[in-house]
Every structure is written in C-alpha cells, then in structure tokens.
C-alpha cells in the first residue's frame, strides 16, 4: 500500500525541494532560482488552480453570468475589469452587475459543494 502512495507522489515536485548548493554550500531550491518573491510564485500557482476549478464548473452559469465572471476575474486571458466597466459594456447598471456576479458566485459555490470539492 505504501508503495502505491509513493508511486502517485513520485512525480510531484515542490518549489521548496533542494536542487543543489551554492558556492557557500547553502541549499538552493527551485523557488530560489525562479527570481521572484516566494509568495508571488505561490500566488500564481494558486490562481491557476482556482481558475481551473472555475472552468470545470462554469457550465452551470447562463450566458450573462459567464460574461460577468469572465470579465471580473480575468478569465480567458482577459484583463480583470471593474463592475462599472462591465456594466458599461453590457449596457446595464453597476448594481445589476453586482447582483449577477453574486448570483453566479453562489451557483459556482453550490456546484463545488455538490461535487464534493473543497473551496479555498
């Protein structure tokens, strides 16, 4: 049983795993050579994972809800936009965009729980 669990994680790589040493003999991790702040890399990975979860369940939203969520959170390689910008684009009020966004997020949340996924 233990060998099966090791087989599953054998391909996993941590950003904190040592990959070598520097001239002074200090361990170097993958995170050290990426050239960015530690939190920035972790935040980017977390964001990618969260977007993947949203894409997996976006089918539960209607067309307008999808438009709002994609615009608000910068999905489909778009820039994140404000509620005001989305409202202007769709020809509706900012408060209506807010209501659509809230309804869409609740649908996604219910779908995550229905599928038994943990929401972070």
Q: Count of alpha carbons within 13 Å of 63, Cβ hemisphere only? A: 1
Tokens of 59: 């089918």
Contact 58, 66 (CB under 8 A): yes
For 22-45, what is the mean pLDDT?
74
Q: Taken in order 40, 44, 49, 55, is the CA torsion positive or negative? A: positive
pLDDT of residue 118: 57
Q: What pLDDT digit, counting tens, does each position of 40-92 carry?
A: 777 878 888 888 888 888 999 999 999 999 999 888 888 899 999 999 999 99
DSSP assignment, residue 57? H
Q: Which is more confident, 100 or 41?
A: 100
Q: Is the pLDDT of residue 96 over 90?
A: yes
Q: Tell me how far CA of residue 67 lies from CA of 14, 51, 76, 116, 117, in angstroms.
A: 35, 15, 11, 26, 24
Contact 41, 32 (CB under 8 A): no
Tell me the pTM: 0.60
Q: Is the pLDDT of residue 8 over 60?
A: no
Sorting pLDDT into bands at 50, 70 and 90, what band is 28?
A: confident
Report the C-alpha gap between 81 and 53 in whole angstroms.
20
Sorting pLDDT into bands at 50, 70 and 90, what band is 3?
A: very low
């Amino acid at each position: 049983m233990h060998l099966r669990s090791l087989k599953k994680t054998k391909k996993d790589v941590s950003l904190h795993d040592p990959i070598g040493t520097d001239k002074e003999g200090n361990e170097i991790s993958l995170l050290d050579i990426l050239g960015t702040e530690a939190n920035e890399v972790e935040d980017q990975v977390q964001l990618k994972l969260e977007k993947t979860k949203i894409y997996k369940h976006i089918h539960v939203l209607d067309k307008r809800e999808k438009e709002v969520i994609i615009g608000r959170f910068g999905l489909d390689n778009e820039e994140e936009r404000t509620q005001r910008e989305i409202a202007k684009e769709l020809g509706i009020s900012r408060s209506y965009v807010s209501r659509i966004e809230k309804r869409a997020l609740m649908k996604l949340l219910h779908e995550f729980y229905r599928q038994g996924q943990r929401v972070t």
